[in-house]
Structure 1
Amino acid sequence: MLVTATANRSTNSRRVVFPFTAVIGQEDMKLALILNVIDPRIGGVMIMGDRGTGKSTTIRALADLLPEIEVVADDPFSRSPRDPDIQRERESPDLPTDKKKVPMVDLPLGATEDRVCGTIDIEKALSEGVKAFEPGLLAKANRGILYVDEVNLLDDHLVDVLLDSAASGWNTVEREGISIRHPAQFVLVGSGNPEEGELRPQLLDRFGMHAEIRTVRDPELRVQIVEQRSDFDQSPQDYLEKHSAAQSDLQQRIVDAQARLPEVTIDHDYRVKISQVCSELDVDGLRGDIVSNRAARALTAFEGRNEVTIEDIRTVIVMCLRHRLRKDPLESIDSGYKVEKVFSQVFGVAMAEEEASSNGRQPVGAG
């Protein structure tokens, strides 16, 4: 999903959404979302945490933050006018274009496979000889974000369909010998509450990153969050105006990172050590290796650099690997300690807690 900078939009013509830069805390979740926008090939993010911790608010805020994209007018799949497929389909390199917000699609828990994938009108196809296709939610989400709340309560088969489309970038609908294929390139974001059950390890492994969030316990910070929300509800336009500069800065950082990403390099020795970490943690397959490399490169691009550092890898590797350590569906997901410990041993650095202690400060997340 490539986004390009556009002129500032009028807030009067769109639904008012809480600004992403005003979300307090939950840094892992925010970073994982941003990295997946910079490089959708990371494979999406699974967000697990307590109820009422701002998961839905943050995801919608990110979609609203992103700049508008250029699309072919009246195209149900929001394809770019530079897409060679639609140029061949319309038999013209010059197509009418339009600007639209990055699609943000909520998948309802009770959605059927037809609603998600789309349906083929067999009667019309047979009587008129045309492929009559009614696009589903995957078509609507192309070049955008597909959000599934309570994904751990969704039917495993439907989760499989979503993950297949997210990984391949295509959705194929087949019925009665008729097949239709359309682009479905989106960032898949799932969220859920661990109390209601975890995804099977085989499905969880296919999410690129895993962010765990907890209820804020600090009373002062809780008051600050409540006051921020109250200010937004009382005067949304004034609140948005107050955060417009920060929103624009972050939007430009994401756009710049997308452009810089192809130039980012990661040293061969670091790639070997990432794979060594995955091997010593007994991570099945190679998804962990691939995602860790991609996430580290995306973070480097986001930070405005061209070479991946050990700190970049350290920042992302727990979110890339922690959910891949489960071998038994009854096991709980690792807190991150195992990944950090093996990372520190392989890369020859002190663990975050040890560094914090030696510097006389609290470790991140303490207190």
Structure 2
Amino acid sequence: MTNPFPFSAIVGQDQMKTAMILTAIDPGLGGVLVFGDRGTGKSTAVRALAALLPPITVVQGCPVNSEAPQDCPVWANVTDHTTTERPTPVVDLPLGVTEDRVTGALDIERALAHGEKSFEPGLLARANRGYLYIDEVNLLEDHIVDLLLDVAQSGINTVEREGLSIRHAARFVLVGSGNPEEGELRPQLLDRFGLSVEVASPNTVEERVEVIRRRDAYDRDHAAFMAKWQAEDATLRDAILAARAALPQVETSDEILHDCAHLSLALGADGLRGELTLLRAARALAALRGAGRIDRAHLRDIAPLALSHRLRRDPLDDAGSSARVARTVADTLP
């Protein structure tokens, strides 16, 4: 099987790569929404990052990728408690998918006839401890998106049919991508994504040539290309693991909390999810950069990713949400 394109070899798209890395450091950030042109490396970045991360340890045969035998659901009837390593899962959720395919399905006939709970795990079980990727998320049916966001928030998938109930762990990073020309997400759904990024095709000849050169090398001499970028991916992997370890020790001052609240109020962001996400993302960024405490530079750098999709529309402002955030950050956090 061909290895995914190396994460370090992706040309440009720095904000998208930063957002992906921060979710690897702190999966509790709430996922990433990537809006932009087709062919800008959105799905490539997700698979590349998952391939870059160290493999996860799982119990052999556990359908939800549990690390310890006691964490495997009872209904799975896992008797072999040996463990193995497998790559961080990346599960694609196709458009038109049914709810049963996402959450899993109960065999009601078997339950009634034999008194046994028989459960066929769905995509959420496979995505546990990994990534769930939705291309064209703006075209996905609303009730499926609501379901995914609720599960992503709670970390538990619950299936109830005819008085029977099944629960299992479903902790994953939700990554949605789409083209705004094909429709927009509802504001309440936008707000549930932790970070958002707007990507565009490279606008210089030099960048476009470099994209072509690297992709051509990847296709023509795969082994040599992977070997060339192996060291850079390994360096990034070590940085992510170090940041994960340092994350709990990153200090947060009262001044930073005031800055988060002040910035959200200045932008008119609804609710408190913006401040909380801004704080968590800034902490992850500080850990990535080896800083022992959050400072204003971290807030300034991460604010467009954490807040731009939470703004109310302003018909009198044609600058766009990212520009509005940047402008307000400059005024609020000098």
Quickly name the TM-score band, shorter chain normalised. Answer: over 0.9
CA distance in 1, matches of 2:262, 2:9: 38
> 1:343 — aligned with what?
329
CA distance in 2, matches of 1:195, 1:88: 45
Is 1:38 aligned with 2:52?
no
> 1:64 — aligned with what?
51
> 1:182 — aligned with what?
168
Structure-2 change in CA distance of 1:134 and 1:333 (3 Å): farther
CA distance in 2, matches of 1:143, 1:346: 37
* Structure 1 gap segments, 5+ residues each: 1-13, 350-367
From 180, 186, 190, the equivalent of 1:200 is 186
- The offset of 1:332, in angstroms, is 8.7
- 1:201-350 aligned within 5 A: 201-326=187-312, 334-347=320-333, 349=334
Is 1:102 aligned with 2:127?
no
Structure-2 change in CA distance of 1:24 and 1:181 (3 Å): same
TM-score by length of 2: 0.95
CA distance in 2, matches of 1:274, 1:255: 27
CA distance in 2, matches of 1:288, 1:216: 29
> 1:11 — aligned with what?
none
The one-letter code sitting in structure 2 at the alignment partner of 1:25 is G
Is the 8 Å Cα contact of residues 323 and 333 (structure 1) preserved in structure 2? no
Q: Report Cα offsets for 1:202-255 as digits up to 9, x if no partner.
A: 111100011000111101111111011000100111100001110111111111
- The offset of 1:90, in angstroms, is 9.6
Is 1:75 aligned with 2:62?
yes
Is 1:168 aligned with 2:154?
yes
- The offset of 1:342, in angstroms, is 2.1
Q: Report Cα offsets for 1:64-106 as digits up to 9, x if no partner.
A: 111101111110000111x7544999999x9311111001001
Q: Report Cα offsets for 1:115-164 as digits up to 9, x if no partner.
A: 11100000111122121110000000000000000000000110111111
Residue 28 of structure 1 aligns to a residue whose secondary structure is helix
Structure-2 change in CA distance of 1:91 and 1:130 (3 Å): closer
> 2:177 — aligned with what?
191
Is the 8 Å Cα contact of residues 20 and 58 (structure 1) preserved in structure 2? yes
* Structure 2 gap segments, 5+ residues each: none
Q: Report Cα offsets for 1:274-308 as digits up to 9, x if no partner.
A: 11111121211111010000000001111122211
- The offset of 1:37, in angstroms, is 1.2
Is 1:116 aligned with 2:125?
no
Residue 243 of structure 1 aligns to a residue whose secondary structure is helix
Structure-2 change in CA distance of 1:122 and 1:312 (3 Å): same
Indicate the RMSD between aligned Cα atoms, in angstroms.
2.2
TM-score by length of 1: 0.86
Structure-2 change in CA distance of 1:182 and 1:96 (3 Å): same
Structure-2 change in CA distance of 1:84 and 1:333 (3 Å): farther
Is the 8 Å Cα contact of residues 43 and 188 (structure 1) preserved in structure 2? yes
Is the 8 Å Cα contact of residues 288 and 321 (structure 1) preserved in structure 2? yes
Is 1:156 aligned with 2:142?
yes
Is the 8 Å Cα contact of residues 326 and 333 (structure 1) preserved in structure 2? no
Structure-2 change in CA distance of 1:332 and 1:34 (3 Å): farther
- The offset of 1:256, in angstroms, is 1.0
CA distance in 2, matches of 1:209, 1:332: 22
- The offset of 1:17, in angstroms, is 1.0
Is the 8 Å Cα contact of residues 19 and 247 (structure 1) preserved in structure 2? yes
Structure 1 runs (4+) deviating above 6 angstroms are 87-92
- The offset of 1:345, in angstroms, is 2.3
